[in-house]
Structure 1
Amino acid sequence: MEQIEKRLVAFPKRTISLVELEKLIKPFARTYEAFAEIVLGLEADGTLEMVKARGRTTRTPSLAFQYRIHKHRLMEDYYRELQRWQNRLHPAIQLDAYYGKDPSVWERDKPFIVQIDDYLNTHSLPHEAVAAPERSMELVGDEKWITEGGGREVLERIGLFDRLRIIPVSDPLMFAVHPGNMAQAVQLHLIVENKTTYQALLPALLDTVFSTLIYGKGKTVISSIAQFSLQYPVKADHRFYYFGDIDREGVAIWHSLFQKKPALPALPFYRACLQKEPARGKEYQIERTEALASFLSYFAPDERERLCELLASGRYYPQETLKTRELQHIWREWQWTS
């Protein structure tokens, strides 16, 4: 009966026809009599309620042609099960997130949570950070579970991803260093989206107030920026700037990066692009409303209007709009610390 109730909870509609009900219960009842007994039992306990307007069959026992599913009755059992598990699991494991999810999510996650509980009861919470595959192997015996098997999502649901001190697997961050600025209390870092712009700016690095020039490699930087503190373990007030293509995809990359590591748009570069003739050919890109609104908030009202018109028309500015001399001049001469 428990499996049938879980199927009813997962059923996408509030009402269910007799034909649909028969398909749902068929694996658990070989005969009509057995099927009818199950359905009448669910009627009796209030889980299923006959839709009177549809009537009942003439067979014996008689069943309704359509039922209303009272899922809240079934969810009460589910909530009690969660509470029982919460009481028996390691205190670091939190099940609150499952109260708002379909019980099928809990059923799918439960075997992994049991393994994690065993790990915590044996080892407690770890003190040292290790790479995701190593921690994954320790927890569930599968080195790919966290990165490829949905493990990260499970650990986030139970409030353990950060507490298990997991180093995300990502490409190393690629950057050049200005050794003369590494001792500054406030250090600036410029992230650029494309390789051409990185190569153009690199010769000017030693003439700037920046400590690093970081090659973003498109979307790669969204994950690789997590490596920054490990690859550049310098204690300072680190401030980041970002310069990418002025198109919908470039704005989306900046916004995703900003959520991981607040990096301000490098306005002098973007404003220099606006003085040039835009290119055409990005009509196919999808607008991310939230990303664009956040990006535009850094610009003056007239600039926002121009950028909106530009992107709406499918035009754009690649980073390569600015030539090497222009890029280097802006980077050297702008008062970035003012």
Structure 2
Amino acid sequence: MKEKLFKHKKKTITIEELENMLPSHTGSYEQFAELVLSFEEEGILEMVKSKGRNARTLSVAYTYRIQKQRLKKELHEEIKHFRLHLHPSIKLDSYFGLDPSQWKKDLSSIQSIHTYIEAFGFPHYEVPAPERSVELVGDEKWITEGQGKELLERVGLWEAMKVIPVSDPMMLAVNPTVLAAQQPFKHLIVENKTTYQALVDALPETNFCTLIYGSGNKIIKSIEQFERQLPIPNATHMFYYFGDIDRSGIFIWDRLNEKQPVKPAMPFYQACLDKASLDGKTSQRMDEAALETFLAFFSEEERTKIQSVLEQGHYFPQEVLRTCELQDIWRQAEWN
């Protein structure tokens, strides 16, 4: 009930609203009144004197003022208590600023993680997420479907738990001729299958290490597999991305860039801008922050054209460039 009081949007609450917070199976008025009066005694609920009290044996006020600072203080004291008793690697600082319900939801899992660390220490090798989930909390879906990854990140243990991410493998073609070349290794990610098929035959004629098929927004997750699928020791990598110039394509690039720095493949995008745009993207919503970040790579004239095209509900699909054009651009452009 304290969590519901904390979430209550108004500063005051009526006795009827308090009753509605209780489960339907809750017992008598006396039990309800005892609970409310205990909150009064703790200073969590303060009577609004002008509203008065009822005349029943256990008299409660008709309206209360919620002292949320008291609720926060109680929560903070509980977190401090656990911080003293849990393994020191478990960081609880983020919970001081989160909703109390998040702490209540996470606590049992945090205690299970503490028990695991105390018993076995930290893992020495990586295992798939379901296996680590069972070891930590006894639920194979906890990391992937039960917000376990988010909890481990909150308490600063995601890296330490050595979890192999669960995602689809990346689809890529490798150019073996550059594996012994000077680093950084260059990699081109393309959004659509048609573009991948158009470019793959030209890969050996470029100085790129791989051509990666992004499969729309799947690349945002599958990029996690890159180091496993191309395990080159002590390598440095440079990624380029080419997708549709539309709201979806820009969004995919932006989200991918947040996980793995990736440059827009400017020679391809600039070649698209020389073509006629196509109609048919009026239903997509624009992520303005993503668009702003994307446009920063273009000249003022190019930015104006892209914005105008998108505002008209038009777009540039990758397919506006023919196979021969795509291959020539990839071979001949300067990739910095």
Give TM-score, length-normalised by structure 1.
0.94
**Greater shift in the superposed pair: 197-206 or 125-134:** 125-134
Pairs aligned (count): 334
Q: Which amino acid counterpart does residue 195 of structure 1 have in structure 2?
A: K
Pair 1:157-2:176 in alignment: no
* Contact 1:132/1:167, CA 8 A, preserved across alignment: yes
* Residues 268-325 of structure 1, C-alpha deviations (whole Å, 9 max, x = no match): 1001111111111111101101110010000001100111111111100111110000
1:86 aligned onto 2:87: no
Query: 1:41 deviation in Å?
Result: 3.6
In the alignment, is residue 315 of structure 1 matched against residue 278 of structure 2? no
Tell me the secondary structure at the aligned position of residue 233 of structure 1.
Answer: coil
RMSD of aligned alpha carbons: 1.7
**2:165 and 2:158 mapped to 1: Cα distance?**
10
CA contact (8 A) 1:49 1:69 kept: yes
Aligned-partner Cα distance in 2 for 1:30–1:139: 38
Give distance in 1, aligned partners of 2:23 and 2:222.
Answer: 50
2:136 matches 1:139: yes
Distance in 1 (CA, whole Å) between partners of 2:86 and 2:25 is 31
- Secondary structure of the corresponding residue to residue 268 of structure 1: helix
Query: 1:155–1:161: 8 Å Cα contact kept in structure 2?
Result: yes
In structure 1, the residue matched to 2:208 is: 210
Q: Which runs of 5+ in 2 are unaligned?
A: none
Shift of 1:244: 0.2
- Counterpart CA distance in 1 for 2:143 and 2:104 is 18
Q: Distance in 1 between matches of 2:165 and 2:312?
A: 38
CA distance in 2, matches of 1:28, 1:75: 28
Are 2:10 and 1:13 equivalent residues in the alignment?
yes
- Greater mean alpha carbon deviation, residues 228-237 or residues 277-286: 228-237
Residue 210 of structure 1: SS of its match in structure 2?
coil
**C-alpha spacing 1:233/1:45, structure 2 compared with 1 (3 Å):** closer
Match of 2:171 in 1: 174
Aligned to 1:283: 282
Give unmatched runs, 5+ long, in structure 1: none
Aligned counterpart, 2:254: 255
- In structure 2, C-alpha distance between the alignment counterparts of 1:145 and 1:61, rounded to whole Å: 45
- Aligned pair in 2 of structure 1 residues 14, 306: CA closer, same or farther (>3 Å)? same
Residues 34/146 of structure 1: CA separation in 2 closer, same or farther (3 Å cut): closer
Structure 1 position 32, deviation (Å): 2.9
CA distance in 2, matches of 1:133, 1:61: 52
Q: Secondary structure at the match of 1:246?
A: coil
**Distance (Å, rounded) in 2 between the aligned partners of 1:63 and 1:148:** 44
Q: Which amino acid aligns with 2:275?
A: K
TM-score by length of 2: 0.94
- The percentage of aligned residue pairs carrying the same residue is 51
The one-letter code matched in structure 2 to 1:275 is: D
Q: Which residue of 1 aligns with 2:35?
A: 38
Q: Which SS does the other structure have where 2:216 is aligned?
A: coil
- Which residue pairs with 1:232 in the alignment? 230
